[in-house]
Structure 1
Amino acid sequence: MDVITGFNVAKQALELLKVIRDGRDEGLVREAAGQLSEKITELQMLNAELSGLYQAERQITMELREENKKIEMFALQAASYDLHTTDGGSTVYRSKKPADPDVQFHYLCAHCYSGSKVSILQPKPERSQHGGFFIHYCPLCKNEFRMNKVPAWDLPKTVRPFPH
């Protein structure tokens, strides 16, 4: 049922009330009372349906507000990062130059960032290296990123350049 149907049912109920109030014929009044009872039941069903729709709409509105709040928060955070290519050729997001010289740059996973998630890359345990670059990983999606070059003194002896 829709709202117009509800108004029509209410109008019919009012007409039946007039018949009952003005009625002189006992049979006609009884018939009108029976029909009025049906109209009241229809109105109650319509009211329950509208109440359910209203509650569903409120739930959707709350969810959309929450989602909008998350998007706004991410947009505020995202303004603090720029796209960056590491020495190892990985594409990540890097924090903008910090005002405090003691604060180091940090890097975000590009995959998670594209999904509006902030995930700070972490160095792999045991100073993991691959192809002469330190490896960092994303704690959320587990992607790995080649970051900066491993200094020559940290390379295994078999890979170190020989002095001339």
Structure 2
Amino acid sequence: MDIMSGYAIVKEAAGLIKVIKEARDEQVIRQAAGDLSAKITDLQLLNAEVSGLLQSERQITMELKAEKAKIEMFTVKSVNYDLYTTEGGATVYRSKKGPDLPIAHHYLCAHCYDNYKISILQPRVDNLKSYGFFVHYCPECKNDYMMNKVPPLPDIKYVGNNDPW
């Protein structure tokens, strides 16, 4: 049912009430009362449907307000980051360093950043396939990012015979 059919039902119910008030025949009154009862049931069903729609709209409004607040908070935080390409060729967001910021640079996951999330990349210590780069991962989406080159190891000098074992 829609709102227009609700108006039609109300109009029909008003007509039935008029018939009941003006009728002198008991059969006509009973018929009109039965029809009026059916119209009242239809109106109750329509009212329940409209109430459900109203509740759905309220829920959507609350969700949109929460999403808007999330985006606004992200916008405030995101001004402190710039797009950055690492030595490993990964694109991340890097914190801006200013004279009033005592902390070192940190990096954000580009995937999460694009989804309005601030997720600081963490060093991965269990990854042996780094291809010569330190690897950081996103704790939120689990993406890996090749960051800086691993510095070469210093030469090891053996004393005595050249057999290390």
The residue correspondences of 1:1-164 to structure 2 (distance < 5 A) are 1-100=1-100, 102-125=102-125, 130-152=130-152, 155=153, 157=155
Contact 1:129 1:150 in 2 (8 A): no
Cα displacement (A) at 1:72: 1.7
Cα displacement (A) at 1:74: 1.7
Amino acid at match of 2:137: Y
In structure 1, distance between residues paired with 2:76 and 2:103: 20
Structure 1 alignment gaps of length 5 or more: 159-164
| Identity rate, percent | 58
Amino acid at match of 1:93: Y
Structure 2 alignment gaps of length 5 or more: 157-165
Paired residues, number: 156
In structure 2, distance between residues paired with 1:40 and 1:18: 15
Which contiguous aligned blocks of 4+ residues in structure 1 show a shift greater than 4 angstroms?
A: 126-129
Give the stretch that moved more between structures: 125-134 or 52-61: 125-134
Correspondence for 1:161: none
TM-score when scaled to structure 1? 0.82
Q: Tell me, what secondary structure is at the counterpart of 1:134?
A: strand
Amino acid at match of 1:124: R
Q: Tell me, what secondary structure is at the counterpart of 1:92?
A: strand
Cα displacement (A) at 1:105: 1.1
Instruction: Summarize the Cα distance change of 1:2–1:97 in structure 2 as closer, same or farther, 3 Å threshold.
Output: same
Instruction: Summarize the Cα distance change of 1:52–1:131 in structure 2 as closer, same or farther, 3 Å threshold.
Output: closer
Q: RMSD of the TM alignment (CA)?
A: 2.3
In structure 2, distance between residues paired with 1:38 and 1:95: 68
Q: Give CA deviations for 1:70-96 in whole Å, capped at 9, x if unaligned.
A: 122222222211001123322110011
